[in-house]
C-alpha cells in the first residue's frame, strides 16, 4: 500500500534508538525525507540534528535547521522522552521539573515551532508518542506518567485548535515495549522480588498476548498516522498495548 509519504519532510524526535529509530526507518522506506534528532552526534535520518530537546531553545533550532535544508515540515513525530524508576516520595522538585521539560515541554515547543509553516501550507500531521502510563499511572514512574497524561490533553488541544487549518494531531499510547529501559525496570523489580526471571514473569502475566510489543509495531502506527491514509483521523488516542488492562 502506498501511504502517500513519498518526498514528505518528517521530523522525528528522540530517534537514535528504540521506537523513534524504527519510525525513521519505516518513513524512509516509504520514500519520506526524514530529520532525526537526539543527543547523539549522528542518527538514521537524511539529516540528523544533535540536540537536547529538554532545553528551551533546542526544539526551535531543530525545526529551523530542518526548514532551512528542506523548505518545509509536513509531519512531526514527538517521540523524545524517558524516566528512571523511582517512587513518588523519592522525587524532588528538580526531578519533576526535569521530567516536565523532557516529556511534555519538548513536544509543546517542537509543535509550536512547526505550526506556522503547517498553517501557511494548510497541511500537516503531528503524532505524539504518549504511553499507557498516561491513562493509568505507573507507580514506578510517577513523574513520567503525569507528563504523558498531559501529552494526551495537549494532543486533543492541538487537534481542536488547528483542524481548520488542515493540521491533524493524534496520540499513540504504547504499552510494554521491548527496550533497554524495560530491561532496567525488570532488573530493578527483580532485585526486590529475588530474581530477574520472577520479575519478567510478573510483567508477562499482565500482557493478554503473553509477550511484549516491539518498536517496529509502534512505529507502524505512527507512520500510518503521519500518512495520507489517515487523512480523516485527528484528536484520537490510539492504544497499541496488546490489550493490557489499565
Q: Give the residue numbers marked as catalytic.
A: 144
Question: What distances in angstroms separate CA 236 from CA 146, 230, 242, one per listed residue?
Answer: 19, 11, 18
For residue 242, the tally of other CB atoms under 10 A from its CB is 19
Q: Judge contact between 20 and 10, C-beta under 8 A.
A: no
Q: How many CA atoms lie within 13 A of 35 on its CB side?
A: 28
DSSP string, 222-244: HHHHHSGGGTT--S-EEEESTT-
User: Any idea how long the chain is?
Assistant: 246
Grid cell digits, residue 33: 525525507
Amino acid at each position: 500500500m502506498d501511504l502517500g509519504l513519498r518526498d514528505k519532510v518528517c521530523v522525528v524526535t528522540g530517534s537514535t534508538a528504540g521506537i523513534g529509530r524504527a519510525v525513521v526507518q519505516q518513513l524512509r522506506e516509504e520514500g519520506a525525507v526524514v530529520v532525526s534528532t537526539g543527543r547523539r552526534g549522528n542518527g538514521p535520518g537524511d539529516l540528523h540534528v544533535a540536540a537536547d530537546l529538554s532545553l528551551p531553545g533546542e526544539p526551535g533550532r531543530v525545526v529551523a535547521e530542518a526548514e532551512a535544508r528542506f523548505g518545509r515540515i509536513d509531519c512531526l513525530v514527538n517521540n523524545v522522552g524517558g524516566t528512571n524508576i523511582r517512587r513518588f516520595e523519592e522525587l524532588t522538585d528538580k526531578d519533576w521539573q526535569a521530567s516536565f521539560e523532557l516529556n511534555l515541554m519538548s513536544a509543546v515547543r517542537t509543535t509550536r515551532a512547526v505550526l506556522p509553516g503547517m498553517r501557511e501550507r494548510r497541511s500537516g500531521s503531528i503524532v505524539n508518542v504518549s504511553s499507557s502510563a498516561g491513562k493509568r499511572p505507573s507507580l514506578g514512574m510517577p513523574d513520567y506518567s503525569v507528563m504523558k497524561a498531559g501529552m494526551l490533553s495537549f494532543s486533543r488541544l492541538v487537534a481542536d485548535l488547528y483542524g481548520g487549518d488542515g493540521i491533524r494531531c493524534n496520540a499513540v499510547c504504547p504499552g510494554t515495549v521491548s527496550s533497554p529501559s524495560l530491561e532496567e525496570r525488570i532488573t530493578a523489580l527483580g532485585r526486590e522480588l529475588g530474581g530477574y526471571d520472577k520479575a519478567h514473569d510478573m510483567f508477562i502475566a499482565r500482557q493478554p498476548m503473553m509477550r511484549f510489543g516491539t518498536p517496529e509495531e509502534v512505529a507502524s502506527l505512527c507512520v500510518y498516522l503521519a500518512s495520507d491514509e489517515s487523512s480523516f483521523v485527528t484528536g484520537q488516542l490510539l492504544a497499541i498495548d496488546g490489550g493490557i488492562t489499565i
